[in-house]
């Protein structure tokens, strides 16, 4: 049977690269089905590399009442290898696993159905053994490890079982390898009576799977047996994993214990089952050590995801699955059931490719987090909860359980449909309390939990933290609960992977275009939070695509560039792109919310796109020269009505002009490498929305009127021709705004332009006298320098004190009372 190509990891690799992943290794994962007869099938997984090495086959679940081996194998198949080939068949007898019986109904004991010594090579009993044997004969492994469980410990006089042992042939190479495996397993067992023993005198029993591969295929085979009596499932799973981990390390096939170092990742479960596998089917009902109860949900793998989709009618139900096993431990030393390493702090992670909650009722939830499964009754510890809180709103909250626990308040963060991958992380700490004090032994409660999420390409956002739960709830498993009709009518919830780690997992970053996040809005208007990116940060580059309008309404700290490829990108927060360079390309437009004063890290004003300042102001922190700024304004001005299709324009100025109200765009060189551009009236030399004595002072101090000298906006050039002349004077006089107060009163509408009063006679007289004085003063000085030899020294610009924000801080508008402009 040729292995089918696996699409799940291929697809994931094209979409995501988690910083927490291991460095890339040259292994390829494929999977397929082994047809066992009567419509039953079981999956297999093959990891191959280009580096020569041994072919190793791991099998589990030969007996249906021995779940530890099946669970361990199902985890081992996720380990990347560095050489050779690793073949894993986790669930050899799915019929027996379903029934929780040792034997397969109608076929008997599978481990007595393989060819024995003296038999023909094809002498199998039952269709299951025949199919598995055909698969093994095709694989021809050099090593075969079959994982089982006994009900009693080998050597115990009260038991005839061979639990807690490794059974193998008495052969030099195998003997040496088994010794190392026993040492590794026994290092974690403190009770001498429960330590593993070496049963290597006679080898695996005749007609067993392991013995058949030894006899007929020349394989070095062995059976690893744990003991089920008085030992928890996670402990037994971990013993199997430890033995195999040591074996694979000795063979040079993995980089370190349990698949190698992965930046703190202890357990990770990826849904690599062959397409369409239902987790309610045998062979897939034991991911990482426990059972999923999915009715009435069809929980299956689809494109490498665990897809949860409701297929039956009914009222609210709960679907629970334990996703973590083995050495997952967040507990205090000395707690009951301490069967593995206590780390005291752990991080449960769920990466979700997306969801569709539109078919759910408001109030329905999916929760994910820690559960205690060591005590006699399973108890939840702390959860992340996603809850539908509105028609198009999904909120995130934290939920603690037990005495002393506290919840984290609900926060609306997502839409009902999410297509951008999100990583949810739940931290559980059993070392210290929330206030930093150490846990007190014997206290009824202690520790804390914390909730994070991270959208593809962004930084982590902390939702909040809460007091943890009773100390005897140690959080040694991961669980998922589903309530309500999630996934009804075609909706779904798609889990990409779940993991447990000792440190905060690395960020999800795009792999197809490293460091680029696509903000897509095809139609209408969408806020960044609704698009799945409530906070933008890091060096990631942003690309706005689609014909719709994307609104950035958060105080982001993104340092990567922001490119507008199509549609509109609206800045609705004064700090939305404070450190990001804007690059509007042809077909892309950047707009400002009405009256917004904002700062951006930079601006490619000549990239072919359009920047519409509306009735607001934009400060460009660096990278744009005054000459480049003026050139962009001239392009945006178009035919004089602000109808340009590139550069910098103002729809508010265009609307005002259409009503015969003189408005334009002003600009300033702030003298610190930054420049400002804003909706303005001619004569407002300092862009403070007033035309007053400060502007008159600026005009007089500049001394540029009718001089032929180069001039800037703050010196009276209101027509962008670099000189101050009668045209600029006419623009100033036409506004009728001198000393009448602010002309840009509204920050709520781009068309808010106040009525312009007729100038009073005194104003006309003052203006004429001022202009006459300027002209006389200039003529008395004479033209002492020719234009081509002039060195322009930026004069002082007089300004009002900056306005304050509602919080009492300064607005982003530049605040010095005077600066230079050139």
With cut-offs at 50, 70 and 90, classify the pLDDT of residue 228.
Answer: confident
Convert the pLDDT of each residue in 22-68 to its tens digit: 344 468 888 888 999 988 888 898 999 999 999 999 999 999 999 88
Convert the pLDDT of each residue in 666-687 to its tens digit: 999 999 999 999 999 999 999 9
- Collapse the DSSP code of 154 into the 3-class scheme (helix H, G, I; strand E, B; otherwise coil) and give the result: coil
Instruction: Output 139 or 256, whichever has higher pLDDT.
Output: 139
Stretch 123-140: mean pLDDT:
96
- CB-count exposure of residue 158 (10 Å: 0-12, 13-18, 19+): exposed
- Model pLDDT, residue 292: 37
- Collapse the DSSP code of 244 into the 3-class scheme (helix H, G, I; strand E, B; otherwise coil) and give the result: helix
- Model pLDDT, residue 808: 40
Assign residue 290 the CATH number of its domain. Answer: 2.60.120.200
Rounded Cα–Cα distance for residues 116 and 122 (Å): 10
Does one domain contain both 193 and 282?
A: no
Predicted confidence (pLDDT) at residue 789 exceeds the cutoff of 60: no
Percentage of the chain beyond pLDDT 70 is 73
Shortest CA distance to 439 belongs to which of 479, 472, 484? 472
Domain boundary among 478, 508, 538: 508
User: Is 635 inside any structural domain?
Assistant: no
Rounded Cα–Cα distance for residues 153 and 309 (Å): 43
With cut-offs at 50, 70 and 90, classify the pLDDT of residue 160.
Answer: confident
- Model pLDDT, residue 68: 86
Instruction: Output 761 or 128, whichever has higher pLDDT.
Output: 128
Assign residue 184 the CATH number of its domain. Answer: 3.40.630.10
Instruction: Output 2 or 137, whichever has higher pLDDT.
Output: 137
Percentage of the chain beyond pLDDT 90 is 40
Are 451 and 477 in contact by the 8 Å Cβ rule? The answer is: no
Beta bridge partners of 24: none
Evaluated on CA atoms 98, 100, 105, 111, the torsion sign reads: positive
User: Is 249 inside any structural domain?
Assistant: yes
Predicted confidence (pLDDT) at residue 805 exceeds the cutoff of 70: no
User: Is 193 inside any structural domain?
Assistant: yes
User: Is 639 inside any structural domain?
Assistant: no
With cut-offs at 50, 70 and 90, classify the pLDDT of residue 297.
Answer: very low
User: Is 673 inside any structural domain?
Assistant: no
Instruction: Output 783 or 537, whichever has higher pLDDT.
Output: 537
User: Is 628 inside any structural domain?
Assistant: no
Residues constituting the chain: 822
Window from 15-29, 107-121, 503-517, 622-636 with minimum mean pLDDT: 15-29
Does one domain contain both 344 and 249?
A: no
Convert the pLDDT of each residue in 55-90 to its tens digit: 999 999 999 999 889 878 887 887 889 999 999 999
Helical spans, DSSP H, in 127-197: 127-139, 172-186
Predicted confidence (pLDDT) at residue 108 exceeds the cutoff of 50: yes
Rounded Cα–Cα distance for residues 76 and 411 (Å): 38
Does one domain contain both 338 and 486?
A: yes
Shortest CA distance to 356 belongs to which of 302, 397, 310? 310
With cut-offs at 50, 70 and 90, classify the pLDDT of residue 255.
Answer: confident
Are 186 and 239 in contact by the 8 Å Cβ rule? The answer is: no
- Model pLDDT, residue 244: 95
Does one domain contain both 307 and 227?
A: no
Instruction: Output 700 or 149, whichever has higher pLDDT.
Output: 149
Helical spans, DSSP H, in 535-675: 626-637, 651-658
- Model pLDDT, residue 538: 81
DSSP sequence for 330-388: ---TT-TT--S---SEEEEEEEEEEEE-TTSPTT-EEEEEEEE-SSSS-EEEEEEEEEE
Predicted confidence (pLDDT) at residue 640 exceeds the cutoff of 70: yes
B/e letters for 655-678, b = 16+ CB within 10 Å, e = fewer, are bbbeeebbbbbbbbbbbeebbbbb
Are 381 and 398 in contact by the 8 Å Cβ rule? The answer is: no
- Model pLDDT, residue 20: 35
Rounded Cα–Cα distance for residues 593 and 577 (Å): 13
Predicted confidence (pLDDT) at residue 581 exceeds the cutoff of 50: yes
- Owning domain of residue 439: 266-508
With cut-offs at 50, 70 and 90, classify the pLDDT of residue 290.
Answer: very low
DSSP sequence for 43-106: EEEEEEESS---EEEEE--SSTT-HHHHHHHHHHTT---SSSEEEEE--S-HHHHHHT-SSBTT
- Model pLDDT, residue 527: 86
Rounded Cα–Cα distance for residues 582 and 594 (Å): 19
Predicted confidence (pLDDT) at residue 633 exceeds the cutoff of 70: yes
Q: How far is residue 202 from each of residues 65, 171, 185, measured CA to CA in Å?
A: 25, 10, 22
- Model pLDDT, residue 709: 85
Does one domain contain both 235 and 270?
A: no
Does one domain contain both 207 and 318?
A: no
With cut-offs at 50, 70 and 90, classify the pLDDT of residue 309.
Answer: low
Stretch 503-512: mean pLDDT:
73
- Model pLDDT, residue 704: 83
Domain boundary among 508, 534, 565: 508
Window from 28-37, 53-62, 142-151, 491-500 with minimum mean pLDDT: 491-500
- Model pLDDT, residue 540: 81
Tell me whether strands 345-356 and 493-501 are parallel, antiparallel or unpaired: antiparallel
The number of distinct structural domains making up the chain is 2
- Model pLDDT, residue 375: 55
Rounded Cα–Cα distance for residues 481 and 459 (Å): 27
Two tokens at 5? 């190509």
Stretch 485-494: mean pLDDT:
67
Instruction: Output 318 or 395, whichever has higher pLDDT.
Output: 395
Predicted confidence (pLDDT) at residue 784 exceeds the cutoff of 80: no
Helical spans, DSSP H, in 579-692: 626-637, 651-658
Rounded Cα–Cα distance for residues 493 and 504 (Å): 24
Convert the pLDDT of each residue in 348-396 to its tens digit: 888 998 888 887 778 888 888 887 765 556 677 889 999 989 888 999 9
SS (H, E, C) 414-448: ECCEECCCEEEEEEEECCECCCCCECCCCCCCCCE
φ/ψ region of 67 (left if φ > 0, alpha if ψ in -120 to 50, else beta) reads alpha
Predicted confidence (pLDDT) at residue 313 exceeds the cutoff of 60: no
Beta bridge partners of 158: none
Predicted confidence (pLDDT) at residue 21 exceeds the cutoff of 80: no
Does one domain contain both 193 and 341?
A: no
Domain boundary among 477, 493, 508: 508
Instruction: Output 478 or 215, whichever has higher pLDDT.
Output: 215
- Model pLDDT, residue 174: 96
Does one domain contain both 244 and 271?
A: no
- Model pLDDT, residue 437: 85
Does one domain contain both 201 and 350?
A: no
User: Is 720 inside any structural domain?
Assistant: no
User: Is 654 inside any structural domain?
Assistant: no
Two tokens at 266? 């202890």
**Mean pLDDT of the residues in the chain:** 78
Which of the 8 DSSP states describes residue 255? S
With cut-offs at 50, 70 and 90, classify the pLDDT of residue 739.
Answer: confident
Does one domain contain both 281 and 331?
A: yes
Are 540 and 519 in contact by the 8 Å Cβ rule? The answer is: no
Does one domain contain both 251 and 304?
A: no
Beta bridge partners of 322: 479
Convert the pLDDT of each residue in 167-181 to its tens digit: 999 999 999 999 999
With cut-offs at 50, 70 and 90, classify the pLDDT of residue 787.
Answer: very low
Which residues, other chains included, contact 404 with Cβ-Cβ below 8 Å and sequence gap of 6+? Answer: 444, 445, 446, 467, 468, 469, 470
Convert the pLDDT of each residue in 428-472 to its tens digit: 888 788 888 887 766 666 788 999 999 887 778 899 998 876 666
Does one domain contain both 96 and 225?
A: yes
Beta bridge partners of 408: 398
**Hey, which bits of 250-314 come out as E strands?**
265-270, 297-302, 305-310
Predicted confidence (pLDDT) at residue 248 exceeds the cutoff of 90: yes
């Amino acid at each position: 049977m040729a292995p089918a190509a696996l699409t799940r990891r291929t697809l994931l690799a094209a979409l995501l690269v988690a910083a927490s992943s291991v460095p890339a290794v040259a292994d390829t994962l494929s999977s397929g089905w082994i047809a066992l007869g009567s419509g039953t099938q079981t999956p297999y997984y093959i990891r191959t590399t280009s580096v020569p090495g041994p072919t190793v086959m791991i099998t589990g679940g030969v007996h249906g009442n021995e779940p530890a081996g099946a669970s361990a194998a199902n985890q081992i198949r996720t380990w990347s290898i560095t050489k050779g080939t690793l073949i894993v068949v986790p669930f050899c007898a799915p019929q027996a696993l379903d029934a929780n019986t040792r034997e397969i109904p109608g076929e008997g004991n599978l481990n007595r159905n393989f060819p024995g010594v003296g038999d023909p090579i094809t002498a199998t009993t039952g269709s299951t053994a025949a199919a598995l044997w055909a698969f093994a004969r095709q694989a021809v492994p050099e090593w075969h490890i079959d994982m089982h469980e006994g009900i009693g410990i080998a050597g115990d006089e009260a038991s005839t079982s061979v639990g807690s042992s490794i059974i193998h042939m008495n052969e030099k190479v195998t003997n040496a390898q088994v010794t190392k495996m026993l040492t590794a397993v026994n290092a974690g067992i403190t009770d001498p009576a429960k330590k593993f023993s070496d049963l290597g005198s006679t080898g695996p029993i005749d007609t067993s799977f392991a013995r058949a591969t030894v006899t007929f295929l020349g394989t070095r085979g062995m059976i690893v047996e744990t003991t089920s009596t008085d030992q928890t499932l996670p402990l037994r799973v971990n013993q199997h994993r430890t033995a195999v981990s040591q074996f694979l390390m000795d063979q040079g096939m993995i980089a370190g214990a349990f698949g190698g170092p992965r930046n703190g990742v202890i357990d990770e479960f990826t849904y690599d089952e062959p397409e369409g596998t239902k987790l309610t089917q045998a062979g897939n009902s034991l991911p990482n050590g426990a059972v999923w109860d999915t009715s009435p949900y069809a929980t299956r793998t689809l494109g490498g995801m665990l897809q949860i989709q409701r297929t039956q009618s009914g009222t609210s139900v709960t679907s629970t699955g334990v996703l973590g096993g083995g050495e997952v431990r967040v507990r205090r030393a000395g707690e009951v059931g301490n069967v593995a390493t206590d780390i005291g702090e752990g991080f449960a992670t769920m990466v979700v490719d997306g969801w569709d909650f539109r078919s759910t009722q408001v109030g329905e939830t999916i929760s994910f987090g820690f559960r205690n499964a060591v005590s006699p009754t399973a108890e939840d510890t702390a959860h992340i909860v996603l809850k539908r809180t509105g028609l198009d709103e999904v909120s995130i909250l934290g939920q603690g359980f037990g005495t002393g626990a506290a919840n984290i308040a609900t926060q609306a963060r997502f839409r009902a449909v999410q297509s951008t991958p999100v990583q949810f992380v739940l931290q559980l700490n059993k070392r210290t309390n929330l206030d930093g004090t150490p846990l007190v032994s014997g206290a009824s409660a202690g520790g804390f939990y914390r909730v994070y999420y991270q959208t593809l390409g962004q930084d982590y956002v902390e939702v909040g933290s809460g007091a943890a739960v009773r100390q005897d709830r140690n959080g040694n498993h991961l669980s998922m609960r589903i309530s309500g009709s999630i996934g009804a009518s075609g909706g779904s919830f798609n889990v990409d992977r779940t993991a447990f780690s000792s440190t905060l997992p690395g960020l999800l970053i795009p792999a197809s275009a490293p460091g680029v996040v696509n903000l897509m809005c095809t139609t209408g208007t969408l806020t960044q939070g609704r698009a799945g990116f409530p906070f933008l940060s890091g060096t990631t580059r942003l690309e706005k695509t689609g014909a719709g309008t994307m609104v950035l309404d958060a105080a982001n700290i993104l340092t990567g560039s922001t490119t507008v490829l199509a549609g509109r990108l609206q800045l609705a927060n004064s700090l939305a792109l404070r450190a990001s360079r804007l690059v509007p390309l042809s077909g892309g437009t950047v707009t400002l919310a009405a009256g917004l004063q904002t700062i951006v890290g930079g601006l490619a004003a000549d990239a072919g796109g359009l920047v519409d300042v509306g009735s607001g102001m934009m400060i460009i922190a660096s990278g744009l020269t005054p000459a480049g700024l003026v050139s962009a304004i001239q392009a945006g001005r178009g035919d004089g009505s602000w109808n340009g299709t590139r550069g910098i324009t103002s729809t508010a100025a265009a609307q005002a002009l259409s009503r015969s109200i003189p408005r334009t765009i002003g600009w300033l060189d702030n003298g610190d490498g930054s420049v400002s551009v804003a909706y303005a009236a001619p004569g407002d030399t300092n862009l403070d929305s007033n035309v007053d004595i400060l502007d008159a002072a600026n005009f007089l101090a500049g001394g540029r009127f009718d001089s032929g000298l180069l001039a800037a906006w703050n010196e009276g050039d209101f027509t962008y021709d670099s000189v101050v002349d009668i045209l600029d004077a006419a623009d100033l006089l036409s506004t009728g705004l001198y000393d009448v107060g602010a002309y840009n009163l509204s920050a709520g509408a781009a068309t808010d332009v106040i009525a312009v009063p007729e100038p009073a006679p005194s104003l006309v007289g003052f203006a004429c006298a001022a202009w006459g004085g300027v002209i006389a003063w200039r003529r008395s000085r004479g033209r002492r320098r020719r234009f081509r030899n002039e060195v322009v020294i930026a004069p002082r610009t007089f300004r009002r004190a900056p306005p304050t924000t509602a919080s009492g801080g300064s607005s982003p508008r530049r605040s010095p009372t005077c600066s230079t402009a050139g």
